[in-house]
Chains A and B, each alone.
Chain A
Amino acid sequence: MFVVKLVLKNALRHKLRTILTILGIAIAVAAFGFIRTIVTAWSAGVEASAENRMITRHAVSFIFTLPYSYRDQIAGIQGVEEVSYANWFGGNYKDASDWKNFFPRVAVDPDTYFSLYPEYIVPADQLEAFKRERNSCIVGAKLAREQGFKLGDVIPIEGDIFPGKWEFTVRGIYEGKDKTADETQMFFHWNYLNERIKELQPGREGQIGWYVLKVSNATDMTRVARAVDGLYENSRARTKTETEKEFQQSFVSMSSSIITSLKAASYLIIGIILLVLANTIVMAARERMREYAVLKTIGFKKSHIIGLIGGESMMIAIIGGAIGLALTFPAAGALAAAFPTFFPIVNVEPMTIVFASAIALLAGIVAALFPASRAVRMKIADGLRSLG
């Protein structure tokens, strides 16, 4: 108990130094949490993947399309419960150089798509309105908030992959089932796309970007993948079928260098935390060498000395860490607000909190190791002579 009291009093001795150290640790811990949140946000799509969904795309790369005729054949494969399809539309909304205007624009099969993605919840009447109207669209709630889309608004898009001026009327707004669902997408009728393309660029119609498969049993997935790809092995358009998780992961791994760099940066930050804390604790311990010698003379033991130094180190680390963790949340919030469509899902994961806390605690221990061992090993006579 006394050790605790002395630790507190000692920390208050140099208020400025203690506050600066806590601040330094807080900022570093917040940065660590922030960077890890960016990394987890990058892979958010992977985590959100459904257990029993698969994606079939062109084997060469997803910029090549598959024929519409594949649909029925794929639906006929045993184990495939339901099939839907989609095309990446792309295009530009307003000024494309402002990245806030980027959001996913996807042409889908209105009858099946939303039943394959039950995590996108659309009010029944809106879904009906969407299905009825050819050039309507359904947008995500987050997107609607960001861009101010309301039911009935017309969204003009300048096409690039599919050139021309396009307009879509908002007939529905979907909400995610939980916070892992992406609410920044815009979906419209594939038929609408197909018909217009037939007029504008005859020969390009009847093409699908990718098929979405719902498989009855997760255990069937490997077999289904092989069956689908086997069907088209010798066709002009070969397919590659994989689980949705693998599909999402392939996007993430494209940026693996960046993600690795971010992770490296977060580890370096740990180094900073340690340096700042160690600097302070080494200094504080050195100043008080004589006092430790006096305490030893009076009869206090090694464990007391360790408790004093370690205690101060831990206390600063814990307070700094707690403040840093608290700061991580608004920082993550700022990230989500700045790039709503690049990082549609930004959550501070429990693992991140655990890591950050562990690092603060470890730093508290490690920073005290050297000065504590020095103080413990010091001969009393030498300590009494030290000038601090």
Chain B
Amino acid sequence: MATSNGRAMIEVKNVTKSYHRDSIEIPVLRDLSIQVPEGEFLALMGPSGSGKTTLLNLIAGIDRPDRGEVLVGGTDIGTMGESDLAKWRSSHVGFIFQFYNLLPVLTAFENVELPLLLTRLSKGERKARVDLALKLVGLAERMSHYPKQLSGGQEQRVAIARAIVTDPTVLVADEPTGDLDKVSAGEIMELLERLNKEFGKTIVMVTHDPRAASKAHKVMNLDKGELV
């Protein structure tokens, strides 16, 4: 277990979230509260429909709760406006998707550069950071390749590079190894572990994969929107 600092990086307080399909209301999270200390590596597990991805989306600022508060790094992101939320996301969160979600028309370099385009950095400064991020994930020599020229594992590593290039405090990962073979999955998890141990990133990860979960410090189980 790595040392956690004790201060809560992420605080979810009495959060309720429902989805509306036609006129039916489907409750997903009921009055949920969790705390994630700084530097923690948390795995969220549970069956389909348990609400773990929804919780992840709330933490990442991609969605807003119907009731309750979501505080990340002390900021109440649950009530922020769209535009402010976007800005907040760009510098505070790195998101890693199950299906990598790289833009097919951009090279690995350009994909990693994407989040930096929202900052005021100069071209040279951006290049420096992208180089660094790609080196960190071990793909420096593939920077001018397009996603279709990369393997699944390599694509995910580029996606991780994209997620860390702005040096966010929180990394959010939704089934990062869900689409990978055993070997690539192992590589990705090692990378995440390194980011957490060496660089102190707070990581919240949703996963089905017990092997992936074993790399985390803590595992929380959700079922029908509640902690179990």
Contacts and interface: CB of A to CB of B under 8 A. Distances in A.
Direct A–B touching in the complex (beta carbon < 8 Å)? Answer: yes
Interface of A: 2, 6, 9-10, 12-13, 290-291, 294-302, 379-381, 384
A379 B118 contact: no
Contact of A302 (B57, B82, B90, B162): B82
A34 B57 CA distance: 55
A291 B60 CA distance: 17
B168 to A, nearest CB: 10
B115 A298 contact: yes
Contact of A384 (B54, B87, B101, B106): B101
Interface residues of B, number: 26
A380 B64 CA distance: 11
B103 interface: yes
Given A10-B105, A294-B97, A298-B118, A380 B63 contact: yes
A288 B118 CA distance: 20
A4 to B, nearest CB: 12
Contacts of A297: 60, 62, 89, 95
Nearest to B88: A299
A149 B63 CA distance: 82
Contact of A299 (B57, B87, B97, B104): B87
B118 A291 contact: no
B160 to A, nearest CB: 13
Contacts of B83: 301-302
10 contacts: A6-B103, A6-B106, A10-B105, A294-B97, A294-B103, A295-B103, A297-B89, A298-B114, A302-B82, A380-B63
Give the top 10 A-B pairs by smallest Cβ distance, nearest first.
A299-B90, A9-B105, A380-B62, A294-B101, A299-B89, A298-B115, A299-B86, A297-B95, A2-B117, A301-B86
A10 B105 CA distance: 7
A52 to B, nearest CB: 64
Contacts of B89: 297-299
A298 B82 contact: no
Interface centre among A12, A291, A381 (most CB of B within 10 A): A381
Contacts, number: 57
B14 interface: no
A296 B63 contact: no
B133 to A, nearest CB: 14
Contacts of B105: 6, 9-10, 12-13
Interface in B97-151: 97, 101, 103-106, 114-115, 117-118
B98 to A, nearest CB: 9
Contacts of B18: none
A381 B117 CA distance: 23
Contacts of A298: 89-90, 95, 114-115, 118, 162
Interface centre among B97, B104, B105 (most CB of A within 10 A): B105
B57 A380 contact: yes
Contacts of A2: 117
Contacts of B104: 13
B91 interface: yes
Contacts of B53: 381
A308 to B, nearest CB: 11
B103 A291 contact: yes
B225 to A, nearest CB: 15
Contacts of B82: 302
B60 to A, nearest CB: 7
A380 B95 CA distance: 12
A376 to B, nearest CB: 10
Contacts of A9: 105-106
B36 to A, nearest CB: 19
B132 to A, nearest CB: 18
B97 A384 contact: yes
A299 B91 contact: yes
Given A6-B103, A298-B162, 6 more contacts: A294-B103, A297-B62, A297-B89, A299-B89, A301-B86, A381-B53
